[in-house]
Amino acid sequence: MNASTAADTAAAGASGRPGRTRLRDWIGAVGAYLWSGWGPASGILVFAAIWELTAQAVGPLILPTPGEALATLGRLLHDATVREDILITVRRALTGYGLALALGSVAGLLAGLSLTASMLARPIVTLLVGTPPIAWLILALLWFGAGDGTPVFTVFVAAFPIIFVGAMQGARTLDGELKAMARVFRLPPTMTFTDVYLPHVVSYLFPAWITALGTAWKVVVMAELLATTDGIGAALAVTRSHLDTAGSIAWIVALVGSLLAVEYLFLEPVKRRVESWREVASSAA
């Protein structure tokens, strides 16, 4: 029943163009997206159940139960300075990530379009990927001191090669047959880019963007733990020194929660929208 109405809405959205239909489609799409969250939600519940059982077995000093951790997080969130710490961390991670996303995508695409450039870039990328973030952090501390610059730079340097490689692969794997087709039909360069290159490249870029986002979140906390006096990482350092396991876990939950929020409220919907052609094609086949 549900499936058939969803299909009807989709069909109406494809052929009809009036504004009212479009609004209804949009509401339908949001509903369908939220409904699709049941799968991941059950995964999280299974994880919570395992956590609960383990916590009951080992005792609260080693591992508090999910309920205790959430209660601690709830208490923390009432505190304005805590909310500010979370926002500081998110801001630092997103700044470094945003820079990596913009520069990595553009540089990767340009490198992928030229065989020479991709050959030159390969060892540099291996070097960047291979250097541990902690080493970059040491250098960043020397260069930027204990301000925002250190976590932002470290996040940028950790996320950049991932995005660069994705973009370069996307540009390298462009279909020569479609390129020839574009030439025959005399597509102007801008249209060749938007209609032929970009949709292909995006399918390589999105996975790289999502991987890099996870990396950004890990690295920003590490950088804060060692280099700054505010943010989630600094707060974790404090809970560790107080042997406050419940507090540590509450902070970790806050961190992972903010990552999930950015990924599933922003990147994933954009990805679904941009790649809708793939879904339609595979469901029909």
Partner 1 sequence: MARGGIIGSLIVSGLAHRFGYQRVLEEIDMQVAAGEAVALVGPSGCGKTTLLNLAAGLLDPWAGCVTCSFGRPAMMFQQPRLLPWRRTRDNIALGLKAAGVARAERHAIAGGLAQRMGLSVDDLDKYPGALSGGMKSRVALARALAVRPDVLFLDEAFSALDIGLKRELYALLAAERAATGCAVLMITHDLMEAMYLADRVLVMSGSPGRIVAEHRIDLPPPARDESWVFSRTAEFVRWPDIRSAFGLPGGGG
Q: Could you say which of 62, 147, 195, 261 contacts partner 1 (CB under 8 A)? A: 195
Q: Is 277 in the site for partner 1 (CB under 8 A)?
A: yes
Q: Is 199 in the site for partner 1 (CB under 8 A)?
A: yes
Task: Choose the binding region for partner 1 from 87-95, 129-137, 257-265, 277-285 (rule: CB under 8 A).
Answer: 277-285
DSSP letter for each residue of 227-275: H-SSSHHHHHHHHHHTT-HHHHHHHHHHHHHHHHHHIIIIIHHHHHHHT
Alpha-carbon gap, residue 233 to 97, rounded angstroms: 17
- CA quadruple 84, 89, 90, 92: dihedral positive or negative? positive
Are the beta carbons of 19 and 28 closer than 8 angstroms?
Answer: no
Report the site for partner 1 in 8-47 (rule: CB under 8 A).
Answer: 14-15
Q: Which of 91, 273, 93, 112 is nearest to 201 (CA)?
A: 112
Q: Is 177 in the site for partner 1 (CB under 8 A)?
A: yes
61 or 285: whose CB is closer to partner 1?
285
Q: Is 273 in the site for partner 1 (CB under 8 A)?
A: no
Report the site for partner 1 in 50-109 (rule: CB under 8 A).
Answer: none
CB of 272 to partner 1, least distance (A): 14
Q: Is 256 in the site for partner 1 (CB under 8 A)?
A: no
CB of 14 to partner 1, least distance (A): 4
CB of 163 to partner 1, least distance (A): 21
Looking up tokens 């820079």 gives 99
Q: Is 252 in the site for partner 1 (CB under 8 A)?
A: no
User: Which residues are CB-neighbours of 180 under 8 A, at least 6 positions away?
Assistant: none
CB of 9 to partner 1, least distance (A): 14
Are the beta carbons of 208 and 149 closer than 8 angstroms?
Answer: no
CB of 189 to partner 1, least distance (A): 11
Q: Is 186 in the site for partner 1 (CB under 8 A)?
A: yes
Q: Is 183 in the site for partner 1 (CB under 8 A)?
A: yes
Q: Could you say which of 34, 80, 243, 281 contacts partner 1 (CB under 8 A)? A: 281
43 or 199: whose CB is closer to partner 1?
199
Phi, psi angles (nearest 5°) of residue 199: -60, -35
Amino acid making up residue 71? A
156 token code pair? 């940028």
Q: Is 185 in the site for partner 1 (CB under 8 A)?
A: yes
Alpha-carbon gap, residue 152 to 216, rounded angstroms: 9
What is the DSSP secondary structure assignment for residue 192, as one 8-state letter?
I
Q: What angle do CA 56, 62, 68 make, to 5 degrees?
A: 60
Torsion, Cα of 177, 179, 185, 188 (10° steps): 170
Q: Is 180 in the site for partner 1 (CB under 8 A)?
A: yes
Binding site for partner 1 (CB under 8 A): 14-15, 177-178, 180-181, 183-188, 191, 195-196, 199-200, 277-278, 280-282, 284-285
